[in-house]
Amino acid sequence: MSKVNPIPEGYHTVTPYFVVHDAARFIEFLKRAFQAEERYVLRHPDGSVWHAEMKIGTSPVMLGQANAQWKPRPSTMHLYVEDVDAAYRRAVAAGGKPLREPADQFFGDRSGAVEDAEGNHWYVASRKENLSDQEIEQRTKAAR
């Protein structure tokens, strides 16, 4: 018998899990906003989402429909993307509420943020400069 890998193939040590009011709507937001791929959806007999797994870029994201036992709770996610401006525009077009338009940051990223209908905050960013720890520390002091 072969040894089972405790971290399944294609997963990371930390995998986000969302508990949301409307899982079907959330799945559609993830697809439209972040080009998420649906891995699979397990449904209750009434058709509501029990558990779903999506993939955003290289990262798996799990989610489930809130119920009496599992209450919804907003979260904050940070996504590195190829084109932050395009990702931000897609997220807003998908129904995301603008929180911060993309702008260059002193620590070397260009980033922006939106809030989805479930109250989750999504920070999207693209790395623009590779900085040393010392350079980041100097820029942090200058930015204060």
Contact 116, 98 (CB under 8 A): no
Helical H segments across the chain, by residue range: 23-34, 84-93, 133-143
Whether the pLDDT of residue 2 is over 90: the answer is no
- In percent, the amount of the chain with pLDDT more than 70 equals 100
Confidence of residue 143 (pLDDT cuts 50, 70, 90): confident
Cα dihedral 26, 32, 36, 42 sign: positive
pLDDT digit string (tens) for 37-89? 999 999 999 999 999 999 999 999 999 999 999 999 999 999 999 999 999 99
pLDDT digit string (tens) for 15-33? 999 999 999 999 999 999 9
State the pTM of this model: 0.92
Query: For residue 1, what pLDDT is reported?
Result: 77
- Indicate the length of the chain as a whole number: 144
Domains and CATH numbers, the chain: 17-143 (3.10.180.10)
Annotate 61-78 with DSSP letters as a single string: EEEEE--SSS-----EEE
Q: Which two tokens mark 21?
A: 């009011």
The better pLDDT of the pair 1, 15 is held by: 15
Distances from the Cα of 98 to the Cα of 39, 65, 72, 73, 77, angstroms: 28, 25, 22, 20, 15
Block residue for tokens 């193939």 = 9
